[in-house]
Amino acid sequence: MTAEKKFYLTKEGLEILKKEYANLKALKFAKTNGESPKVLHSEELNPEYLAFQEDLSFLEIRLAELENTLKNIALIQPPPKDKQDTVNLGATILVDVDGQRDEFTLVGSLEANPSKGKISNDSPVGKALLGHKVGEEILISSPIKTTYRIKKINYLSI
């Protein structure tokens, strides 16, 4: 028996998923308790009914995905004070990348959004930075070789 995959989320990310799940449950309830298109009394199926069934199928698949995710959540928490000098999930990291400064927060893959400064712990950069400390230089080859020097680690934003 294989272990279920853990989904790492911040409190904010968890609330967003719970809200999506509640909204989809309400939508499914409204769709299944309302007037669904009926099959016509002919040999061919009503296209409106087929579209309804397809929509319902996609809705049920997404609900199942969310249920699995919510069942396997690991909430990202700041590490103890004595470990906050090391990059871990939830850290906001200021780095020097080939002479330019960049800042991002390390989150789980479900919340990753590079345009908002959130990178995944599964990304090449995220994986490479995990466990490192301020002042360390890390060479990352993805797809080109780049050196990241950690300038600051902060856990206040989670």
Given CA atoms 104, 73, 123, 82 in this order, what sign does their dihedral have?
A: positive
State mean pLDDT over 82-108.
Answer: 94
First to last CA, the chain: 33
Nearest residue to 69 (alpha-carbon basis) of 112, 27, 17, 135: 17
For 39, how many CA atoms within 13 A lie in the half-sphere containing its CB?
7
- pTM: predicted TM-score of the whole model, two decimal places: 0.78
Q: How far, in Å, are 83, 85, 137 from residue 80 at the CA level?
A: 5, 10, 24
Domain termination residue (choose one: 20, 44, 75): 75
Angle ∠(84,89,95) on CA atoms, nearest 5: 70
Q: 91 and 57, same structural domain? A: no
Q: Which two tokens stand for residue 43?
A: 């040999």
In-domain check, residue 2 = no
Q: Which of 85, 80, 88 is nearest to 126 (CA)?
A: 88
Instruction: List pLDDT tens digits, range 14-56.
Output: 999 999 999 999 988 887 886 555 544 445 667 777 788 888 8
Give the pLDDT score at 44: 61
Residue 86 sits in the same domain as residue 139: yes
Quick one: pLDDT at residue 141? 84
Q: Could you read off the pLDDT of 58-69 as tens digits, one per residue?
A: 999 999 999 999
Q: Measured between alpha carbons, how far is 77 from 36 in angstroms, rounded to an integer?
A: 45
Contact status, residue 157 vs residue 9, Cβ threshold 8 Å: no
Query: Residue 3: pLDDT above 70?
Result: no
* Domain enclosing residue 106, as ranges: 81-154
Q: Which of 41, 75, 109 is the last residue of a domain?
A: 75
The answer as to whether 106 is a domain residue is yes
| pLDDT above 90 (res 134) | yes
